[in-house]
Chains A and B, each alone.
Chain A
Amino acid sequence: MHEPPHTITRRMLGLTALVTAAFGRTLHAQSQQQAALAPRPEPPALEEVHLTVNSQAHTLSLDPRTTLLDALRDHLGLPGTKKGCDHGQCGACTVLVNGVRLNSCLSLAVMRDGDSIVTIEGLAEDGKMHPVQQAFVKHDGFQCGYCTPGQICSTVGMLDELKRGLPSAVTANLAAMPAISVAEIRERMSGNICRCSAYPNIVAAIMEAQHGSAG
């Protein structure tokens, strides 16, 4: 869907001719494409973006390439959300967007215009840690701490998904409400990597936080 279809058909040719033809086709396609394309915008036009972050409204003027992660860290001074892999594989950048956990590194800030974001900095209320934060401290659910903001935001989103009855790959009966278990937590948190491997304590923290939130 991103490229125009090639119009030159490949015929039965000898190897040398085949290589030449393939190369020629590539050059032809490229030159055609170059001629038809508008120049890249340098510098790119800035986009006005409205974000509500931790209950505070912000208006930013951003290069459209800016990810939500970079907008939070570099434009709003909220470095609690971490950049790990920057490719959606580690989960360190997990935030809540309109209450749902997402990888902020794989989201353009301009596409989040008007959305409400909660980061690790916004979980505490009146100077009191969120129950999930308290549980992570109590159970020592971290070692170096770099993945922790993502783990905690992901946990808050995950517990809400459980309350809403969202199934997971280890939910035995898809037609029933899922029940919390160690297996469910491990599956549902697989998008958050901890290279210190504090997983046993993270799972214990989440089990306790879940009891608290259900209590």
Chain B
Amino acid sequence: MRSFTYERANDIAAATQAASQPGASYIAGGTNLLDLMKVDVERPRHLVDISRLPLRDVVETPDGGLSIGALVSNAGLAADSRVRRRYPVLAQALLAGASAQLRNQATTAGNLLQRTRCPYFYDVSMPCNKRQPGSGCSALGGYNRMHAILGASDACIAVHPSDMAVAMTALQAEVEIHTPSDTTRRTPIAELHRLPGQTPEHDTTLAPGELITAVILPPPPPGRQIYRKVRDRASFAFALVSLAAILDVRDGKVQTARLAMGGVAHKPWTPKTAERALVGAAAQADSFKEAGQAAVHNAVGRPHTAFKIALAQRLVMRTLGDLAAGG
């Protein structure tokens, strides 16, 4: 690990000032950043420790939603009785991620800002446009079984690894951001992460020094919620494909459907065509099969990832069927 200077931030304004200096980086849980520093992918010269800022509470919002402090641990959020009762898709997604030890330490904002687990991003001896812009993408012609089938580019086919962010996307959460000029802005979570395009080095739309202070959940939407994750082993593994689904069925017809997919793109993927096709459709197998097909209609498979297209399609179909059947 390369040397760095360290400071503990005492308030949000001081933190954003310190972190907007070149070479500075925030650290909170540190479970991903320290890992990347050990393998020389991240090389911060100055660490701004924000772990003791007062951002550890989950509070009710006036409209019946929840405001989740940026430093709420993944374990703490999954255990929150309001999340378990009103946002089960989020609790399930959190519990599907990482290990118990990591969930105890990892924070809400850190989970959003974790970086891809593409093995070529981690290997500093290999070209990687995300790590070294312009150097090339080793995954394109390499071992890319865990990589993207939607929204990728010829510069990067990495996927975002978070489960939590997928559930928050289906819940249409907003991210509260404090800027270095001491203002606050909110962005829909769907606009926090970006597709790789020709600049995969930028995972998010955050400007240098900007600090996520909270994630705001709107009131729980009508309907049943579920998070389903398909992976190579039953626990402590990243998703091959995952799905957060919220389905509202009345009198045999779909009123609304909200879907977000993980493991398939550079950001949590919202299959809007599938969502639209479901509205007003009969809540039965044919509709759900069509939704599955619509969810992957523009997917691109590679030799190692082609299986993900059928997998994603069937996951959507099966999950919607289970939700409609009350499962």
- Asked, given contacts A3-B201, A100-B104, A111-B49, whether A106 binds B92 with beta carbons under 8 Å apart, the answer is no
Q: Which of B63-86 contact A (CB under 8 A)?
A: 75, 78-79, 81, 84-85
- Which A residues are in CB contact (< 8 Å) with B221? none
Do residues B30 and A191 form an inter-chain contact, with CB atoms below 8 A?
no
Chain A residues with CB below 8 A from B75, complex form: 161, 166
The interface size of chain A toward B, counting residues with CB under 8 Å, comes to 63
Q: A22-B134, A100-B104, A107-B105 are in contact. Are A88 and B35 (CB under 8 A)?
A: yes
B236 at the binding interface (Cβ < 8 Å): yes
Q: Kindly list chain B residues whose C-beta atoms are within 8 Å of the C-beta of A41.
A: 3-5
CA distance A82 to B234 in the complex (A): 25
Q: In A28-57, which residues have CB < 8 Å from any B CB?
A: 29, 33, 36-38, 40-45, 47
- Among A118-126, A167-175, A206-214, the stretch in contact with B: A167-175
Contact pick for B4, options A3, A44, A161, A175, CB 8 Å: A44
**Range class of the B interface residue count:** 35 or more
Q: Are B95 and A37 in contact (CB under 8 A)?
A: no
Judge whether B235 is part of the interface by a CB distance below 8 angstroms.
yes
Closest to A188 in B: B100
Q: How far is the CA of A38 from the CA of B132 in the complex (A)?
A: 21
Asked if A79 lies at the interface with its beta carbon under 8 angstroms from chain B, I say no
Q: Are A40 and B132 in contact, with the CB atoms below 8 A?
A: no
Asked if B198 CB lies within 8 Å of chain A CBs, one says yes
Q: What is the bound-complex CA distance between A19 and B135, given in angstroms? A: 9
Query: Is B134 touching A23 in the complex (CB atoms < 8 A)?
Result: yes
Is the C-beta of A127 less than 8 angstroms from some C-beta in chain B? no
In the bound complex, what is the Cα–Cα distance between A37 and B35 (angstroms)?
Answer: 23
Which residues from chain B contact A169 at a C-beta distance below 8 Å? 92, 95-96, 235
- Indicate if A103 sits at the interface (CB-CB under 8 A): yes
A37-B23, A41-B3 known; A190+B99 contact, CB < 8 A: yes
Asked whether any CB of chain A lies closer than 8 Å to the CB of B208, the reply is yes
B100 lies within 8 A of A158 (CB): yes
Name the distance in Å between A131's Cβ and chain B's nearest Cβ.
Answer: 20
Segment at the A interface, from B38-46, B255-263, B265-273: B38-46
B134 touches A25 (CB 8 A): yes
Decide yes or no whether B91 CB sits under 8 A from chain A. yes
Are B102 and A88 neighbours in the complex by a CB distance under 8 Å? yes
Nearest-neighbor residue (CB-CB) of B201 within chain A: A3
Q: Tell me, yes or no, whether A73 is within 8 Å of chain B by CB.
A: no
Nearest residue, chain A, Cβ from B85: A175
In the assembled complex, the Cα of A4 lies from the Cα of B134 at a distance in Å of 16
Tell me if B125 counts as interface (CB < 8 A to partner A): no
| Mask: chain B, 128-147; 1 = CB below 8 Å from A; 0 = not | 00001111000000000000
Complex Cα distance, B67 from A134, in Å, reads: 44
Is B31 engaged at the interface, CB distance under 8 Å to the other chain?
A: yes
A177–chain B nearest beta-carbon distance, Å: 11
Q: How far is B235's CA from A169's CA once the two chains are assembled, in angstroms?
A: 8
A64 touches B4 (CB 8 A): yes
* Contact partners of B5 in chain A: CB under 8 A: 41, 44-45, 64
A6 interface residue (CB < 8 Å to B) = yes
User: B residues within 8 A CB of A44?
Assistant: 3-5
A185 to B202, CA, bound (A): 39
Assess whether A67 is interfacial by the CB under 8 Å rule: yes
Nearest CB to that of A43 among chain B residues? B3
Shortest Cβ distance from residue B280 to the other chain A in the assembled complex, whole angstroms: 31
* Cβ < 8 Å to B, chain A residues 96-153: 100-103, 106-108, 110-111, 113
For A191, give its contact among B99, B133, B234 (CB under 8 Å).
B99
Bound complex: CA A86 to CA B101 (Å): 14
Is A5 located at the chain interface by the 8 A CB criterion? yes
B contact residues around A22 at 8 Å (CB) = 133-134
Please indicate the chain A residues that have their CB under 8 angstroms from the CB of B51 in the complex.
Answer: 111
Question: In whole angstroms, what is the CA distance A3 to B134 when docked?
Answer: 15
A103-B31, A167-B84, A174-B84 are contacts. A26–B132 as well, Cβ < 8 Å?
Answer: yes
Q: A1-B208, A110-B6 are in contact. Are A26 and B134 (CB under 8 A)?
A: yes
Q: Within the complex, what minimum Cβ distance (angstroms) separates A142 from chain B?
A: 19
Name the 5 nearest CB pairs between A and B, nearest first: A191-B99, A22-B134, A190-B235, A64-B6, A44-B3
Enumerate 10 A-B pairs (CB-CB under 8 Å) in ascending A order: A3-B208, A29-B133, A40-B45, A41-B3, A87-B38, A108-B6, A108-B34, A111-B30, A111-B49, A175-B84
